[in-house]
Amino acid sequence: MARTSCELAIIGGGPAGMAAAARAAALGVDTIVLDEQPAPGGQIYRAIETVQASRADDLRILGEEYAEGAALAAAFRASGAAYEPGSVVWQALEDGRIGVSCNGAAHMLSAQRILIATGAMERPVPIPGWTLPGVMGAGAAQTLLKACGLVPDVPVVIIGTGPLIYLIAVQFARAGVPIASVLVAAPEIGMTDALRVLPGALRSGRTLLKGLAWRSELRGMGVQMVHGVSQPVVEGSGRAEAVSYTQNGMRHRIAARLVLLHNGVIPSTQLALGARCKQAWDAGQHCWRPQTNDWGATSHARIAVAGDGAGILGARGAASLGRLAALDAAVRLGKLDPARCDRMASEDRSELARQHGLRVVLDRLFPPAAELLAPTGAGDIVCRCEEITVAELQDAVTQGCTDANRVKAFTRCGMGPCQGRMCGAAAAEVIARMLHQSVDQPGQFRVRLPVRPVPLAELAGLQI
Amino acid sequence: MKTRAIVIGGGLHGTSTALHLARKGLDVLVIEKNSVGRHASGVNAGGVRQLRRHPAEVPLSVAAMDRWLNLDAFLGPDLAAMCEFTGHVGQVAVAETEAEMAGLAAREAELRGLGWTHEELLDQAALRRVAPALSPHCVGGLISRRDGHANPYRTSQAFRLKAQREGVRFREGTRVLGLVQAGAGWRVETSDGAFDSDVVVNCGGAWGWQVAAMVGEVLPHVDFAPSMMVSARVQHFLDPVVVGTGRKLSFKQTENGTVVIGGGILGIPDLVAETADPVAERLVESARTVHDLFPIMRTATIVRAWAGLEARMPDEIPVIGPSTMVANLWHAFGYSGHGFQLSPIVGSLLADLIVDGKSPLPLEPFRAGRFNEGPVAAHPGTA
């Protein structure tokens, strides 16, 4: 990476990052997009360019929502914003300094403004057996399908909640993957349920119909769906061999060599946390997110967050907030008149309001399954990096370590390479349950550089 | 009625002092503004080191080491295990040049002249035997064989639990706002109300100078934030703790395979926000030192860095003893980045000094008044 400074550094090349970059570049802002992926798209539109150009079968499998990413990617490519694929950002600071690894070397980039557009991550599903080989996130499996058309060739069991599990099941079924069962840890939601729960569902009718359509497509293809599942456990010695679960008071067990877990998605907050941007607990989405305003601005003047990283809103909302954050950056950089900014913002502000309205309905209809948030068995693993169990966390609390960071320091939970990305929420659940607190009370693990692991040799070679 | 003591600061020294005062029959309350072991006590490199101590600290350090090596007796088996202490692996200062080796030899001779023999010179072959993973360019070293390391946060909790078992009360999340003389004793004003005490001990660490200032006593105020980083797990390759001679380094591999790298690279302290940040650009120096000294680490990955808040004195040794201004106020802070190993002993000596008027080991060199008696400086060849 040749550049050492820029006006706007955008971290992440998903819908928010692509849309923000295209808008910022059009306004004359010197913009660099740092993206971990080899090509634009983020997770939701991963590999959209190659799929659209040369993988027609996969495009059909992935569906029309995925295809929407092509226009964003094309606009981004044409925008003139600098693009640094394969760049892993391991630090973003309040003063605009960014630490990034790219092509085997570490660099420092100094940006006048930073837009964090790192999107969402799957909410970890730490059920008993989740660390066995043969168990993975449903989104991770979907990523392999998008990136390289790679699909499982053994029967798959999908466990979890949320609209995405139906979508992923549909995509796999279309691709010919044998699906042994979709085990839904929630009651089946129909359109009438939705309308009874929330009049607002009317506005969201199209999306809800789509969800119903996925389910009927699955039924048409003969995929077994079991709703109202509880206490799922992945069993096996050395690898996943079976899944057991309870339904209607009865325990069931099915063979499973590949188990996909999903309990919704949550904002990826590590970079903002590392920068010490103020965070807020989002009760509706049951997760932490950075405090942001309508333009994505955080508690730090130079740092904004757009996209699902600022709160889960989906790809369309992400692109809109990305464009709004770009307008705000342009104003703050003196490249755009505030009055003109307001005029340019109106369309995306309306879209954002629409997406918020829709999201409230989805959040109400598909809350995360509480029992998938944290395991309860003494020997169940919470922190997979350091192999820390529920019992060890409980012992720390008993010894007087009564918040997340004290428990972390006492047990090493969250001290491994993922810095608590995978265990932070579950650890907080365990602590809060013990202390009879709400789950936000134990707080979040502190995050320090490097937010992503950095090879020592790269750090040694950093030019300063 | 029991004599009452309030210890300000729930770090290791505050907790140890409280424990030893309670053992002497006092009614002890520890007031801690955050939580026990939150700052330097809980986040330091965990080195349990006699090696290259300031001559004034050597008797204390040797006595402390006796306690570390008998933690079972000091804390009881369960709390001793909690500390994750490993002794007798040695701490080694490594010389990369003949000039550095000459410096280590001079240090060893000085210590021997004072009657101490726990530091031992290693030639190149002997160094290789204790740390085969070191780069072949290293010419020799100086080892203290009883030394080792412990888990600092767990140790601070073990000390707290021990103190609690012996009757010490703790108020965490309580901030001292003022010290007002009340009769022969003190009224300690806090964010949670006022507490009366006969004796107050200031173990305020990076904030110790502020506590002194509450009675108008001016003590040196330099806060600093030693930073550290840790690698992902690496196959076991090293037993002793290795420290640099010409370069800033403290390097150890823990039981679980991770390598903790420190040695005085400074982060940025923020006394107001009560936190400290490591600085990537400065950690580059650490990474280069490790790259040069331990070729096996060239393929390792750094997963986390952090920094701790600590007070540093101009002569790099702590203040331990009575206030120069007022009666029944005592200070024990300013360990300048190397107080961890001393924690089992200083609290004990200070309790003796407070209650009996006499410490079994000399504390005179640490008197608060020394800064008013002329210039002070760090002792050469020590760390």
pLDDT digits (tens, 9 = 90+) for B8-51: 999 999 999 999 999 999 999 999 999 999 999 999 999 999 99
Segment A164-173 mean pLDDT: 92
Judged by CB atoms closer than 8 Å, whether chains meet at B280 and A91 is answered as yes
In chain B, residues with a C-beta closer than 8 Å to the C-beta of A386 are 256
To the nearest whole angstrom, how far is the Cα of A293 from the nearest Cα of chain B?
24
> For residues B93 and B117, what is the distance between their CA atoms, to the nearest angstrom?
16
CB atoms within 10 A of CB A53: 10
pLDDT in tens, A302-323: 999 999 999 999 999 999 999 9
Helix (H, G, I), strand (E, B) or coil at B146: coil
Rg (CA), chain A: 22
> For residues A353 and B289, what is the distance between their CA atoms, to the nearest angstrom?
54
Tell me which residue in B154, B161, B304 faces A448 most closely, judged by beta carbons.
B304
Structure tokens at A31: 């913009």
Cβ atoms A92, A229 nearer than 8 A: no
Cβ atoms A336, A327 nearer than 8 A: yes
- Cβ neighbours of residue A219 closer than 8 Å, sequence gap 6 or more: A225
Segment A364-384 mean pLDDT: 95
Segment A352-373 mean pLDDT: 92
Question: What is the interface size between A and B, counted as CB pairs within 8 Å?
Answer: 84
Cis-peptide, bond into residue A450, ω within 30° of zero: yes
Judged by CB atoms closer than 8 Å, whether chains meet at B303 and A419 is answered as yes
Return the residue in B30, B298, B301 with the most chain A beta carbons within 10 A, the one to mutate for interface testing: B301
Residue B266: strand pairing partners: B226
Judged by CB atoms closer than 8 Å, whether chains meet at A99 and B298 is answered as no
Structure tokens at A292: 């942001």
Tell me which residue in B36, B298, B303 faces A457 most closely, judged by beta carbons.
B298
**Which CATH entry fits the domain spanning A124-263: 1.10.3470.10, 3.50.50.60, 3.30.565.10, 3.30.1300.10?**
3.50.50.60
List, edge to edge, every strand of the sheet that includes A135-137: A135-137, A258-263, A156-161, A179-184, A225-227
Tell me which residue in B157, B256, B300 faces A410 most closely, judged by beta carbons.
B157
Judged by CB atoms closer than 8 Å, whether chains meet at B161 and A400 is answered as yes
Alpha carbons within 13 A on the beta-carbon side of A318? 32
Helix (H, G, I), strand (E, B) or coil at B220: coil
Judged by CB atoms closer than 8 Å, whether chains meet at A417 and B291 is answered as no
> For residues B353 and B347, what is the distance between their CA atoms, to the nearest angstrom?
10
> For residues A374 and A261, what is the distance between their CA atoms, to the nearest angstrom?
13
Write the class of the CATH domain B91-145+226-307: alpha beta
Residue B123 scores a pLDDT above 90: yes
Residue B380 scores a pLDDT above 90: no
Rg (CA), chain B: 20
Judged by CB atoms closer than 8 Å, whether chains meet at B302 and A453 is answered as yes
Judged by CB atoms closer than 8 Å, whether chains meet at B302 and A409 is answered as no
CB crowding A238-256: b at 16 or more within 10 Å, else e: eebbbbbbeeeeeeeeeeb
> For residues B279 and B285, what is the distance between their CA atoms, to the nearest angstrom?
11
- Mean pLDDT of the residues in chain A: 94
Check residues A289 and B380 and name the one with the higher pLDDT.
A289
- In total, chain B counts a number of residues equal to 383
pLDDT band at A202 (very low <50, low <70, confident <90, very high): low
pLDDT of residue A199: 64
Residue closest to A308 by CA, chosen among A355, A348, A274, A351: A355
Using a 10 angstrom Cβ sphere, with 0-12 exposed, 13-18 middle and 19 or more buried, the burial of residue A226 is middle
Check if A5-121+266-363 and A374-435 are the same fold: no
DSSP symbols for A404-446: HHHHHHHH-TT-STTTTTTTHHHHHHHHHHHHT--TTTT----
- Taking chain A, what is the end-to-end CA distance rounded to the nearest angstrom? 14
pLDDT in tens, A67-102: 999 999 999 999 999 999 999 999 999 999 999 999
pLDDT in tens, A19-58: 999 999 999 999 999 999 999 999 999 999 999 999 999 9
CB atoms within 10 A of CB A96: 20
pLDDT of residue A191: 66
Residue B158 scores a pLDDT above 90: yes
CB atoms within 10 A of CB A322: 32
Return the amino acid letter for B128.
R
> For residues B84 and B75, what is the distance between their CA atoms, to the nearest angstrom?
13
Domain B2-78+152-219+314-382 is found in CATH 2.40.30.60:
no
Segment B158-171 mean pLDDT: 98
**Would you list which residues of chain A are within 8 Å, Cβ to Cβ, of chain B?**
91, 99, 108, 386, 399-401, 403, 406, 409-410, 412, 415-417, 419, 448-450, 453-457, 459-460, 462, 464
Judged by CB atoms closer than 8 Å, whether chains meet at B301 and A455 is answered as yes
Lowest mean pLDDT among A340-349, B236-245, B267-276: B267-276
Judged by CB atoms closer than 8 Å, whether chains meet at B300 and A456 is answered as yes
Tell me which residue in A91, A409, A454 faces B301 most closely, judged by beta carbons.
A454
Q: What are the residue boundaries of the structural domains of chain A, listed by start?
A: 5-121+266-363, 124-263, 374-435
pLDDT in tens, B90-110: 999 999 999 999 999 999 999
pLDDT of residue B381: 86
Name the closest residue on chain B to residue A455, using Cα atoms. Answer: B301
> For residues B381 and B111, what is the distance between their CA atoms, to the nearest angstrom?
11
Name the closest residue on chain B to residue A275, using Cα atoms. Answer: B277
The answer to whether the Cα torsion of B65, B68, B69, B70 is positive or negative is: positive
Cβ atoms A306, A117 nearer than 8 A: yes
Tell me which residue in A409, A410, A454 faces B302 most closely, judged by beta carbons.
A454
pLDDT in tens, B281-334: 999 999 999 999 999 999 999 999 999 999 999 999 999 999 999 999 999 999
The answer to whether the Cα torsion of B88, B264, A444, A35 is positive or negative is: negative
To the nearest whole angstrom, how far is the Cα of A379 from the nearest Cα of chain B?
19
pLDDT of residue A380: 97
pLDDT of residue A2: 83
Residue A201 scores a pLDDT above 70: no
Residue closest to A235 by CA, chosen among A217, A210, A253: A253
Cβ atoms B90, B147 nearer than 8 A: yes
CB atoms within 10 A of CB A104: 10
Angle of helix A138-148 relative to helix A163-174, nearest 10 degrees?
40
Q: What are the residue boundaries of the structural domains of chain B, listed by start?
A: 2-78+152-219+314-382, 91-145+226-307
In chain B, residues with a C-beta closer than 8 Å to the C-beta of A406 are 35
The CATH homologous superfamily to which domain A374-435 belongs is BFD-like [2Fe-2S]-binding domain (1.10.10.1100)
> For residues A287 and A283, what is the distance between their CA atoms, to the nearest angstrom?
7
DSSP symbols for A354-369: HHHHHHHHHHHHSPPP
- Cβ neighbours of residue A253 closer than 8 Å, sequence gap 6 or more: A235, A242, A243, A244, A245
Tell me which residue in A410, A415, A448 faces B278 most closely, judged by beta carbons.
A448
Residue A193 scores a pLDDT above 90: no
Residue A196 scores a pLDDT above 80: no
Residue closest to A460 by CA, chosen among B299, B277, B241: B299
In chain A, residues with a C-beta closer than 8 Å to the C-beta of B160 are 400
pLDDT of residue A176: 92
- Which residues of A153-241 form beta strands (DSSP E)? 156-161, 179-184, 225-227, 230-235
pLDDT in tens, A409-460: 999 999 999 999 999 999 999 999 999 999 999 999 999 999 999 999 999 9
Domain A5-121+266-363 is found in CATH 3.50.50.60:
yes
pLDDT of residue A442: 98
Tell me which residue in B154, B232, B283 faces A417 most closely, judged by beta carbons.
B232
| pTM for the full predicted model | 0.95
